Structure 1
């Protein structure tokens, strides 16, 4: 009797267990969200499988999501490689220092506006400078377009700063707060009188986009931006209006006709070097140091206090977070200009060009280039020859050039895509 009872009990237990297993396999008892399977159960994945999956899914530093990159690079009117378009010529060449850390972009119909063009050149530096330059090249225009669309107010920018800092303001945010006052000196008053909204809106968008871009670099897990960064000289041309945002020592120069019909150079940006009085004062106020080494007396650099860490030869840059608490900022210097019929073209270039050629030499080279489509390449090749002639013991620097022609009906400008 006892044996019979025990046998029936075993059968009942087995049937119960089987029914539970069938129910679990059908998914009718528990959802994956409400309860996870026990370790070692038939429904739980093998520990080795989990480890391999997690290990393989982890991106390596500097890795790229090629699907997203491909979608970005296929946007019509967006050029970022050597070539030309209906309004611009682009060219970059690697120097003798290693990987080419320069990047460039021309984006026609920017922000889905048919009369708007975005241009930019970026000069990376540090171990991962090439990655930082390309990251900023790809994402800064998107952020600028988004903030331009939203049309945020300067009060919103300052309000967000005050909320995020909770009473403590570093050099970056102090510079952003005072940017409204500092940028007025470089504004064409004719623009603000005739069309004040375009400058106000774009200026606020530049400030916000640069701030968000630098914050994203700080949080980036695949690019080490602690001792790496990039310059950026960018512009937006909408109709006759031009707004320029500059960080670092790359430069923008306008070629315009003089009274005698000769071309003259008008520098649109300031090379933001650490030895500029205003920049040096800000850096020293933040406990940073500014001085040049004995073997390069003409190159002032930003240094950490009481530290022999590598010095930075510019006062503003994206990245380089080891110096961001000691006076280095990513707040752009912004200027605005109303273009005229005398204005011919604009040259944006990294310091590999300006270190060996003057503003006038650059616009003369562009003017007498064989064709507008090859103007940027002609300028880079001329600069490389100048490097070899002027600096026999110095390695040629990377060069990147964007030539934006203000007359879009130039007959000798070829319509080429990225090649």
Structure 2
């Protein structure tokens, strides 16, 4: 997995350069800070106890019409890695091509997600496989943050030290999701956990052709204006959230000044706590006009 930091679009150039470090056991991490010093981020991705890696991530930063645009995405594959890899390669690219990306970002997200799902299923129509993927993405346009989610990856933000979820996991036993599935003619069954048709443990996803009537790729979107109370943004696959509560994630990440170190700490903590899944997270730190405290080295 590599972050796509060298692409260009017809709206602007991707300007960041990311330092990525490899490690043993399918582990990579990296980080970057904006030229104006207002934003920094780090990421960490670990295969963990799984034999294969099905998590992917994408980070893009750009200047478009004089505005700084940053995009962060976590894509957690299931039943294979093809859907997650396709999202890494195409989702943000498609989003930036949407004619209303800058003027109505929420509309662009709501239309780009399902269209990208259609495109993926079309590209796989002759393949003898049926995998799928989550997508939890955060798009920052100037100081306006849009979080769009499909599946059970999750995005949270730290505001004045409080962990605030900006997405709600799409689980089949969520009352509104269960009703939507049953209204479409599907069933939610207990098979070790709640599953759509007794098969899939999430109620929304990209791919999953055989369940597509019930497992949609329509995102739920939240938007926030970033002010000085917002400190950190954390996106992660469920390999983290299965064992690290939101409050712990904010506390652990907030104790590290460097976002890459914060992301690595979260990944390592999830593994130490017994996560049996791939673990991938992105930590974004907002540097406001106030002075950034310097912590002494241990």
| Structure 2 counterpart SS, 1:340 | coil
Paired position in structure 1 for 2:54: 101
* Matches of 2:156 and 2:215, distance apart in 1: 24
Tell me, yes or no, if structure 1 residue 77 matches structure 2 residue 16: yes
CA RMSD of aligned residues (A): 2.7
Question: CA deviation digits over 1:190-224, x for unaligned, max 9?
Answer: xxxxxxx95xx111101221122111111114984
**Shift in alpha-carbon separation, 1:279–1:406, aligned structure 2, 3 A:** same
Paired position in structure 1 for 2:168: 270
Tell me, yes or no, if structure 1 residue 227 matches structure 2 residue 130: yes
Kept in 1, the 8 Å contact 2:156–2:246? The answer is yes
Paired position in structure 1 for 2:155: 252
Question: CA deviation digits over 1:4-26, x for unaligned, max 9?
Answer: xxxxxxxxxxxxxxxxxxxxxxx
Q: Gaps spanning 5+ residues in structure 1: where?
A: 1-68, 153-196, 258-262, 304-309, 389-395, 413-419
Paired position in structure 2 for 1:318: 206
* Matches of 1:142 and 1:120, distance apart in 2: 12
| Structure 1 counterpart SS, 2:268 | helix
Deviation at 1:371, TM superposition (A): 3.3
2:68 equivalent among 115, 130, 140: 115
Tell me, yes or no, if structure 1 residue 280 matches structure 2 residue 280: no
TM-score (norm: length of structure 2): 0.83
Q: Gaps spanning 5+ residues in structure 2: where?
A: 21-27, 34-39
Question: CA deviation digits over 1:64-103, x for unaligned, max 9?
Answer: xxxxx89649954275862000011011000222211111
Q: Residues 327-338 of structure 1: matches in 2 within 5 Å?
A: 327-338=214-225
Deviation at 1:402, TM superposition (A): 0.5
Pair member with larger Rg: 1
| Structure 2 counterpart SS, 1:269 | coil
Kept in 1, the 8 Å contact 2:133–2:207? The answer is yes
2:86 equivalent among 126, 135, 144: 135
* Matches of 2:5 and 2:227, distance apart in 1: 38
| Structure 2 counterpart SS, 1:236 | strand
TM-score (norm: length of structure 1): 0.60
Aligned positions, number: 272
**Shift in alpha-carbon separation, 1:397–1:268, aligned structure 2, 3 A:** same
Question: CA deviation digits over 1:39-75, x for unaligned, max 9?
Answer: xxxxxxxxxxxxxxxxxxxxxxxxxxxxxx8964995
**Shift in alpha-carbon separation, 1:71–1:118, aligned structure 2, 3 A:** closer
Question: Is the deviation greater in 277-286 or in 347-356?
Answer: 277-286
**Shift in alpha-carbon separation, 1:267–1:236, aligned structure 2, 3 A:** same
The structure where helix makes up a greater share of residues is 1
The structure where strand makes up a greater share of residues is 2
**Shift in alpha-carbon separation, 1:370–1:356, aligned structure 2, 3 A:** same
* Matches of 2:148 and 2:31, distance apart in 1: 23
Tell me, yes or no, if structure 1 residue 145 matches structure 2 residue 92: no
